[in-house]
Structures are given as structure tokens and as C-alpha cells.
Amino acid sequence: MTETNPTSDVFTNAALFIGGEWIDNSALDRYTHLDPSTGQPCGSFPKGGITEANAAVAAAHKAFATWREVSPEQRRDILLKAADLIAASAEEFAAIAARESGHPFNPNPASVRKLVEYFRYYAGWTDKLEGTTIPVAGAVLNYSQHEPYGVVLAISSWNGPATSAVMKIAAALAAGNCVVLKPPELGSFGPLRLGEILTEAGLPPGVLNIVTGGADLGEALVKHPGIGKISFTGGIQTARSICRSAAENMTPVVMELGGKSANIIFDDADLTRATTMAAHMGCVQNAGQGCLFPTRLLVQANVYDEVVEKVIAYVSKVKIGLPFTPGVTMGPVINEQACNRILSVIETAQREGHGTLLYGGERLGGELAGGYYISPAVFGNVDNKSALAQHEVFGPVLSIIRFDTEEEAVALANDTVYGLAGYVHTQNLSRAHRVAAKLEAGYIGVNGFPPMPVNAPFGGFKQSGYGREGGKVGIEEFLRTKNVYVALS
């Protein structure tokens, strides 16, 4: 079947968004983005630097003086309008994701519905941010109140560019902050389209600023004394650098980082359901490029062979191809560098005996040769101490590990520096709760992959970060508490 290819003007009109103006300074270098499905250029945008960082922060501070006084009802209505506009533009956002990231095209994908849900959910919080009255002795009124930080720096991830951005900016705006958004070089077009949407929804100039660029831009923003709080999604090495730079001004930081999440299948699980989830979310969805994906599959010994057989049967039938081709369920990894790195991980794991490669792991050729396609790689009998099991691959590579007892499963699952997510498959309710309580991770799924409800908190333990996105705590991250003590006599 021939592929259809809806498009968006954002690929040809990309510019910096500062103080309500779209700025395309011809003196700036430009970043050319390659469509990962073809390896061909699909758009470009200017690369801001220190000057643009200063301008964005200044514009946000100017806007904050009035935005903080905007009524909760007005903020609510703007966010609700943005949600409606995104819903009406679902096909366009899906097309942007397909070209920008290689995701299989769906005219009404769950990822776009999630953008709508985040704006609607946090719109509902704008008039519910209540303080408390605190009883103290004497003729005194003592109360606390929540206040925005002022200017929030949001640094979003490339593997879900629009979703990552919205999880931050919807909550920050609802709390009364202004935002400087730095989207990733590998995922800027979706966030730039959000800037257009929010402007159309009535967001005042300067309340949201979007500055595209590289590491030098990010460093300038992180070190800027005008930033009140930083919210970052990305890798551990970048996170450490951000923390060091943020420490200069004691700027608080929220970190949502990587993972090597364990997916435990016990022998009493619904094996068809469990293995379908394990295979798809472990190495097919988003070509394995997800921080919370269950990339370590722990299987009880007496069902190990059956689970392995079912996993391989599933991945062998996956249709890999160009994102706009009907029926495609798996696309490419993000770029040539990532492709070569993942293939090197697979080669090293084979050479050093980290496990046995049971299926896949090759770069695909033919009509897909120009893109960055890797077939799902399934390793069996993986050593949990090996680099394959311990390091985040961020690609379509699944490690299967055998265990005997519940205690061993928990120990293996927790034997990692990460703690973002964990998954348990069992029909024993007591075991499900018991194991979930023992897993050292911030996001647990039982008998399925949780769809990240917008009203639930998401975040990690250990080196998977700290702070939370989503739910009530997600908006509380962008509020600071002030206490007021009033002597009445």
C-alpha cells in the first residue's frame, strides 16, 4: 500500500518564540533535522545562544508581573482552550511526531489525547491551590499560602517531545509561573507547534518562551540567576551537569531520568497477556526508546521457555516500516549515532557473553536502508550483573533473566542504580501487593503497562531522579510555600 504523508507548516517556519514574537535571526546557526525513517532533511530551526537565553528569561520576568495577577479562572480558560485546539489538531501533531521521531502514524493517537488531558487536568487545579490557617497561641493569625516560583525552565526530552513539554508547562502555567522551554535538538518541532497553539488560546506574550538550540544554550539557561526552578527530563550525565550548574544559584531542580525497569512474570500469570506486554513495551513501542519501558524481563524458571517462545513469536510478526505506511507498528531509532551505538551494544553483549541473542538485532536494509531501523533484539539467559542488564540501552533490546523464587526476583529487580518503574505479573493478589511494596521504583504496574494517568504522580527513585510530574504533586512542584504571621494586638 502507498503511504500517505500529512504535514505541518512548523517544519518550514520554525523560529525562536520570545516575548510573544517568532524570531528567526539570520545570523544564528541552524540545526537541520533528519527524518529518522529516511535519513533525509525534513526541517531546520535556529540555534539560540546566550543572547537568546537572556532575552527569553527577561521576557518571562516581564510577563510574570502581570501573569501572576491573572485570575485562576482566566488561567483555567486559556488552558482549556489550548486543550480544545490540540484536540482539533490531533492529526497534525501525529504527523509531526511521525516525521520528527519516526513514530508510526495514527491520526488520533493516545499520545495526542494525553496532551489534551494534561491541559484539562491542570486547568482544573488553578482555583484549588489553597493555603492553610495554622493555630498559634495569642491574638495572632498565622497562615500559609502557595506562590509560583516566577520563571520556570523546562527542558524536555526528544523521545516524546510534545508530551514531555506539556507535562511540565501545563502544571507550571496553571500554578501561575512563566516558562522558558528548551526543547531538545532532536525533538523541537512538536513543542514549537505547542507555542502556536497556546498563543491562539490567548496566553499573554512572554508567559511561554521557546528557545531552540544545543548544549551551550542549555547551560546558559540553567546558570541564569533569573530562573526560579528547573524541570528536566533526560539522561543521567546531562542531569549531573545541570545539578552542578544549578548549584551556583541554588536553583531547585526536578529530575525525571532514565531507567532499566524490571518486568517480573511469575508462573501463575496470564502468560499470553504478560508476554504481549513484555514484548511490545520491552522492545517494539517507540523502538525501545522510553525511560520507563520494561527492558529487563524476569521470568520464573518453570515458565521461562514458554515465555521466551511467546515473546519471540510476537516480535517476529511486528511490521517495521515507514511511519505513514498503513499497518506499521514499529519505526526507527532517532538517528545514525543512536543506531550505531545500539548495534555496538548488541555486538558487545554477544562477544562478551552477557546473554544469548535469540532473535533480531540487525540493521534493516532494502527500502528501509536510508533510515535508522533495527529489528527487535531479544537476549535470553542474560547475566543481571552484565552491562546489557545494567545499562540503559534506549533502543529495541530486551534482556530476559531467569529466577526461581519471589525473593530472588525482587533482589534481581532492585539490583540496579535505576529506580524509575517496575512491573509484576501474577494472579496472586497478596503477592502482587507484596512485591510492588518491595520494588525500589517510583512507578509500578501490575498485570499490565499503566497508561500514565494524568492525575497520578510519575517519577523515580535512586538515579532515576527525584520530584514528580503528574497529579497534584505535579503542580506542587511549581509552587513554594510562604507563611504569614500576623499579630492582631
Digit-coded pLDDT (tens) for 351-389 = 999 999 999 999 999 999 999 999 999 999 999 999 999
pLDDT band at 307 (very low <50, low <70, confident <90, very high): very high
Q: Please indicate whether residue 256 is annotated as part of the active site.
A: yes
Share of the chain above pLDDT 90, in %: 96
In angstroms, the CA 334 to CA 357 distance is 23
- In this structure, what DSSP letter does residue 80 have? H
In angstroms, the CA 218 to CA 413 distance is 34
pLDDT tops 50 at residue 1: no
pLDDT tops 50 at residue 345: yes
Which of 178, 283, 291, 339 does the annotation list as catalytic? 291
Which of 168, 182, 223, 260 does the annotation list as catalytic? 168
Q: With CA atoms as reference, report the closest residue to 466 among 252, 170, 173.
A: 252
Using one digit for the tens of pLDDT, what is the confidence trace for 221-230?
999 999 999 9
pTM of the model: 0.96
- In this structure, what DSSP letter does residue 139 have? S
In angstroms, the CA 362 to CA 331 distance is 14
In angstroms, the CA 197 to CA 85 distance is 7
Torsion of CA 234, 235, 239, 241, to 10 degrees: -120
Q: With contact defined as beta carbons under 8 Å apart, do 403 and 382 qualify?
A: no
Average pLDDT of span 51-78: 97
Query: Does 2 or 423 have the greater pLDDT score?
Result: 423
Strand duo 421-425 + 296-300: pairing: unpaired
Q: Please indicate whether residue 69 is annotated as part of the active site.
A: no
Query: What cell was used for 138?
Result: 495569642
pLDDT in the model for residue 258: 94
pLDDT in the model for residue 109: 86
Using one digit for the tens of pLDDT, what is the confidence trace for 236-255?
999 999 999 999 999 999 99
Indicate the helix (H) or strand (E) that contains 359: strand 356-359
pLDDT band at 10 (very low <50, low <70, confident <90, very high): confident
Q: Please indicate whether residue 168 is annotated as part of the active site.
A: yes
pLDDT in the model for residue 141: 96
Which of 100, 392, 469, 476 does the annotation list as catalytic? 469
Q: What is the b/e burial string over 277-298, where b = at least 16 CB atoms within 10 angstroms of the residue's CB?
A: bbbbbbbbbbbbbbbbbbbbbb
pLDDT band at 281 (very low <50, low <70, confident <90, very high): very high
- In this structure, what DSSP letter does residue 425 have? E
pLDDT tops 50 at residue 398: yes
Query: What is the residue whose three cell numbers read 527524518?
Result: 35
pLDDT in the model for residue 2: 42
pLDDT tops 70 at residue 93: yes
pLDDT band at 7 (very low <50, low <70, confident <90, very high): low
Q: Please indicate whether residue 185 is annotated as part of the active site.
A: no
pLDDT tops 50 at residue 399: yes
Q: With CA atoms as reference, report the closest residue to 304 among 264, 277, 276.
A: 264
354 to each of 5, 281, 301, 351, 400, how far by Cα in Å? 41, 22, 18, 8, 11
Query: What is the residue whose three cell numbers read 489550548?
Result: 82
Query: Does 159 or 8 have the greater pLDDT score?
Result: 159
Phi, then psi, of 53 in degrees rounded to 5: -60, -45
Q: With CA atoms as reference, report the closest residue to 178 among 228, 253, 117, 221.
A: 228
Structural domains of the chain, ranges and CATH numbers in brackets: 10-257+464-484 (3.40.605.10), 262-453 (3.40.309.10)
Using one digit for the tens of pLDDT, what is the confidence trace for 465-483?
999 999 999 999 999 999 9
Single-letter code of the amino acid located at 412: L
- In this structure, what DSSP letter does residue 442 have? S
Average pLDDT of span 402-426: 98
Kindly tell me the sign of the dihedral angle through the C-alpha atoms of 208, 209, 212, 218: negative
Which of 256, 392, 476, 477 does the annotation list as catalytic? 256
pLDDT in the model for residue 108: 84
Strand partners of residue 255: 232, 466
Phi, then psi, of 407 in degrees rounded to 5: -60, -40
122 to each of 41, 88, 103, 126, 365, how far by Cα in Å? 36, 19, 27, 7, 45
Q: With CA atoms as reference, report the closest residue to 303 among 275, 335, 333.
A: 275
pLDDT in the model for residue 6: 60
Torsion of CA 428, 434, 440, 444, to 10 degrees: 40
In angstroms, the CA 361 to CA 375 distance is 5
Query: What cell was used for 379?
Result: 537476549
pLDDT band at 302 (very low <50, low <70, confident <90, very high): very high
pLDDT tops 80 at residue 446: yes
Average pLDDT of span 115-130: 97
Pick from 6-20, 183-197, 375-389, 445-459: least confident: 6-20
Q: With CA atoms as reference, report the closest residue to 338 among 264, 288, 298, 301.
A: 288
pLDDT in the model for residue 329: 96
Coil, helix or strand for 318? coil
Share of the chain above pLDDT 70, in %: 99
What is the residue-averaged pLDDT of the chain? 96
In angstroms, the CA 477 to CA 489 distance is 36
Q: What angle in degrees, to the nearest 10, is found between the helix axes of 72-88 and 110-123?
A: 170
pLDDT tops 80 at residue 5: no
pLDDT in the model for residue 12: 86
Strand duo 262-265 + 421-425: pairing: parallel
